[in-house]
Amino acid sequence: MFIKSELTKRFKIVGVASVLTLGLTACASNDKKVADVPAPESKTEQMASTEATKMTVSELYEVHDDGRIYVFYDRSLYEDFLKTGHTAYMLARIGAGPKGETIKFALTGEDKKKRSGIPSVELFDGNADAASPFYAEMRAEGRIYVFDNADDLTSVRKVGEAPYRFTEIGAGPNGETIVYVLNKSNKKQKPVELIEAFKKQNGMS
């Protein structure tokens, strides 16, 4: 009887120990699973991630002619257009200009099948940021407007004039009047760097 009682006690102890071991193992396993699940990103983190991957555009060129605004981000396409008056691939938006003009975005061969990620379109739509430094030209009514600020470019496109400017009559590559567009922050300064950038871009330096 003593032997049977002792064996029974031992089996009970072993059984309890096994249950405890299984319980601890299950807890450890559950803890591990919880730790492996990443916490969802907050709205702030999602916005920061979007900002970090936002496209930047370093240059833009526009030609305003006969109710159309031709927009280029590729300098070579822009120069070819100035010589020939056309470019092979374009994305058109009828009546999308600030005064109802048709907007025509010049496309490279790689761009023609894209529906997003085109630098000129993204910047025009406000989905990309202007790089620093930034350079832009706008040709309209025999003048060449030159910019180093994308907000100034947007403003002149809308209103047709630059309230702050430095003008050089007949200084363009073909005798055009050059208007260097300024703003409140630099209106009293001669835009030396912008003048140099224009001359370099147009082979005049």
For 77-99, how does the pLDDT look when each residue is reduced to its tens digit (9 = 90+)?
999 999 999 999 999 999 999 99
Q: Identify whether residues 69 and 162 lie together within a single domain.
A: yes
Q: By the 8 A CB rule, do 60 and 67 touch? A: no
As to burial, measured by CB atoms within 10 angstroms (0-12 exposed, 13-18 middle, 19+ buried), residue 61 is: buried
Q: Is residue 52 part of a domain?
A: no
Q: Identify whether residues 15 and 92 lie together within a single domain.
A: no
What order of strands is seen across the sheet that includes strand 89-93? 89-93, 102-107, 68-72, 56-65, 129-140, 143-147, 177-181, 165-168
Domain count, the chain: 2
For 33-75, how does the pLDDT look when each residue is reduced to its tens digit (9 = 90+)?
444 544 555 555 544 444 557 899 999 999 999 999 999 999 9
Q: By the 8 A CB rule, do 67 and 141 touch? A: no
Q: Identify whether residues 63 and 98 lie together within a single domain.
A: yes
Q: Which H/E stretch holds residue 89? A: strand 89-93
Q: Identify whether residues 100 and 155 lie together within a single domain.
A: yes
Domain hosting residue 23, numbered range:
2-37
pTM: 0.74
Is the sign of the CA dihedral 155, 157, 163, 169 positive or negative? positive
Q: Is residue 180 part of a domain?
A: yes
Q: Identify whether residues 16 and 95 lie together within a single domain.
A: no
Rounded Cα gap, residues 123 and 74, in angstroms: 13
The larger pLDDT score, comparing residue 203 to residue 54, is at 203
Q: Identify whether residues 137 and 186 lie together within a single domain.
A: yes
The larger pLDDT score, comparing residue 14 to residue 52, is at 52
Q: By the 8 A CB rule, do 183 and 164 touch? A: yes
Strongest mean pLDDT among 20-34, 43-57, 104-118, 135-149 = 135-149
For the range 76-82, what are the long-range contacts, defined as Cβ-Cβ under 8 Å and sequence gap of 24 or more?
77/106, 77/108, 78/106, 78/137, 81/106, 82/139
Q: Identify whether residues 27 and 118 lie together within a single domain.
A: no
